Structure 1
Amino acid sequence: MSEQAAPVPLRWVGPIRLSGNVITGEHEVPLATYEAPLWPSVGRGARISRLIEGGIDTTLVTERMSRSVYFELDGAGVAVQVLGEIRSRFAELQQVVSASSRFAELIDMHSEIAGRLLFLRFEILSGDASGHNMVTLASERLMTHLMSQWPQLRYGSISANYCSDKKATAVNGILGRGKHVVTEARIPREVVQKWLRSTPEQIAELNTRKNLVGTILAGGIRSANAHYANMLLAFYLATGQDAANIVEGSQGVTQAEVDGGDLYFSCTLPNVIVGTVGSGKGLTFVEDNLTRLGLRADRAPGDNARRLAGLCAASVWCGELSLLAAQTNPGELMAAHVAIERNERSTQTSNPSTEE
């Protein structure tokens, strides 16, 4: 089987001004996408970040990577009994996980019993890795250990969908998977009017009616946003992430409120799954991008991945704000797409070898 590369246009956007508990200062971000209007849209949000005091306040709330397994038992009664005994020996399970990797740390475990099936969701810290393989290996070791200690447990599966990996589920929105990051800022009214051609009231009203009411009518799962997936995919592709994780990553909530005449705007992303080591990171362009982002520095384990998550979430904030502002003005969104995409096609036709 031959290996080929699929080139995706990539541009650096920003800088974005950041404050908070994971990363501060001004940073450009790489975005790889076929949707050309995304670059100027995120760029407009980045400009806003530089016009407000402190920029975007970026807060890491919590972090964990999850893997769920399931066992079969003789019935629900014995499952309840065994689960209680397992919980009483949580420290023992932590030792099993720590022995599987020097970076793995078991921090929590959740459970569900359905009939005679026992589902366990292990939540593990994974250092600078996104943690997919690390938590699967740890979970495999845990299953072996548990079955050796409780013969009532029979092997079911190493992956039980209660994780939930690359699926939009309520459990991920509630418990979080990856990095849970909140980005927020108070934008002065005059900045909204001049640079976004809108008002705090218009953006707040649109967010309520579109992102909240519209998503409820659509049956959205733990999600109320305009297009988190666009920025996440572009950022993931540019930094060597598992792009399929935008499925749970795009679950998040946008809040827009009028605050003293200004606009309070925030994006809450409970499932930002990124890492600075692991699969995909050995590619030359990924290494170059991570180096330019300053994420090849010698820091405490996990700090580079946390900084990457902060940059990713800030990119989402920029693109989300810009799109909502555009949608408060009739015709602006489509006009921008037509103008920018026609220009991109014209450039590619006249010079097919051009790379961004």
Structure 2
Amino acid sequence: MSTRIPRSKDNDYTKEMADERRAFATEKTGASLEHVGNYSFDPAITAGNIENFMGVAQVPIGLAGPLLVNGEHAQGEFYIPMATAEGTLVASYNRGMRLLREAGGVKVSVVDDAMQRAPVFLFDDAREARAFGEWVTENFDAIKDAAESTTKSGKLRNIEQYAAARMQYLRFNFTTGDAAGQNMVGKATFFACEWIKANYPEKINRYILSGAMDTDKKHSQLNTLHSRGKRVIAEATIPGHLIRSIMGTTAESLFKMRAISQVGNFMAGSVNTGAHSANGITAMFIATGQDVANVAESSAAITFADLDDDDNYYIAITIPSLIIASFGGGTGLATQNECLKMLGCDGSGKAHKLAEIIGGVVLAGELSLSSAVLAGDWVSSHDALGRNR
């Protein structure tokens, strides 16, 4: 019979319990955990973030920048912490940031903000489901009151409805302030559904709190169209001479490559028509204490490019589902909070600022990688900086 992992009912988040669990793991596996056990904060701060705490995974953090952002919330130059184990990544983003800075900065806008929970209600037939949907529309204000009774910052914006067979899918759209909000909207939607069940005058067979149309931790075309988290657009116009001098290629080549890569992305069925937004997003998520699994949704992107008669290259990237927080979750952990402080994005009122900075970082990476592929230094740079054998 297997031995249980050591736990303390009364005081589990202590150095002593972490030491005991590492000793247990060493005994069971034979692995030395010297570096796993080398951390600088009080384990008590991890309560609510992890269970069976035993130590840390130390991911290297590189510094890129400055990134010049012309946002509505983020304005000025920012030095960017990027946590990654991939060589060349920080150097590449750093080069893209230099190009954007020389071109006058990256303009970033948060154009939508919503977090979803999508319950499904089951009936005897499609007509009963349709009647229920009509009742939900008529009683939206009361449903909104029930949902918002559970949260100070969450606000129910609207409820989308989708009918299929004898089921009515309701997609609740909330704004969530500075929190990412998945747990917040889950609780709020549960209270709303319980109110609906208690007050709907006809028979409801049952409901399921998530009918999967909220697509937690999964990409969906629905979120590309309707947004989940922050919908962020980063754009810049770059003179051709800067692309030649800094990137070693031309604006015309970048423009033509974009048209070719759009076809390739279409044939592959990709959820991203750009180069690699997941790289920059993941590195910043790890550094700033975001839920890294949300990269599955947050890395979707739509790119657009144009070239004018004066050799000015316009590029924009739309991130439709950037799920981030400046408060709550992992943002309060020791090293992650330090990285947020570097960006001036710790605490309340900073989520849109952080979203704008991440959008600018993503655009820098798109420019740098695309240019490296064209200039022929994509492979050579990885050979120079990315070999660790």
The CA deviation at 1:166 is 1.2
Tell whether 2:356 aligns with 1:305.
no
Tell whether 2:195 aligns with 1:145.
yes
5+ long unaligned stretches in structure 1: 347-356
The CA deviation at 1:8 is 1.0
Number of the residue aligned with 1:118: 168
Contact 2:219 2:296 in 1 (8 A): yes
Tell whether 2:234 aligns with 1:189.
no
Corresponding letter in the other structure for 1:206: M
Matching residue within 296, 304, 315 for 1:255: 304
1:1-356 equivalences under 5 Å are: 1=5, 2=21, 3=53, 4-53=55-104, 55-150=105-200, 151-210=202-261, 212-221=262-271, 223-260=272-309, 261-296=311-346, 303-330=349-376, 332-342=377-387, 345=388
Corresponding letter in the other structure for 2:156: L
5+ long unaligned stretches in structure 2: 6-20, 22-52
Whichever of the two has the greater Rg, that structure is 2
Deviation per CA, 1:30-66: give whole Å up to 9, x if none. 111111211011101111121022x100011010111
Corresponding letter in the other structure for 1:265: I
The CA deviation at 1:22 is 2.5
Contact 1:146 1:153 in 2 (8 A): no
Q: What TM-score results when the alignment is normalised by the length of structure 2?
A: 0.84
The CA deviation at 1:155 is 3.0
Contact 2:275 2:366 in 1 (8 A): yes
Q: Secondary structure at the match of 1:220?
A: coil
Counterpart Cα distance in 2 of 1:327 and 1:96: 53
Counterpart Cα distance in 1 of 2:346 and 2:268: 42
Corresponding letter in the other structure for 1:335: S
More RCO (CA 8 Å, sep 6+): 1
Counterpart Cα distance in 1 of 2:248 and 2:318: 24
The CA deviation at 1:20 is 2.5
Counterpart Cα distance in 1 of 2:308 and 2:117: 40
Corresponding letter in the other structure for 2:124: D
Q: What TM-score results when the alignment is normalised by the length of structure 1?
A: 0.91
Deviation per CA, 1:1-33: give whole Å up to 9, x if none. 443321111112111001122211111111111
Number of the residue aligned with 2:31: none
The total of aligned residue pairs comes to 336
Corresponding letter in the other structure for 2:291: D
Query: What RMSD over aligned residues (CA atoms) do the two structures have, in Å?
Result: 1.4
Counterpart Cα distance in 2 of 1:128 and 1:24: 18
Deviation beyond 6 Å, 4+ runs, structure 1:
none
Number of the residue aligned with 2:37: none
Q: Secondary structure at the match of 1:251?
A: coil
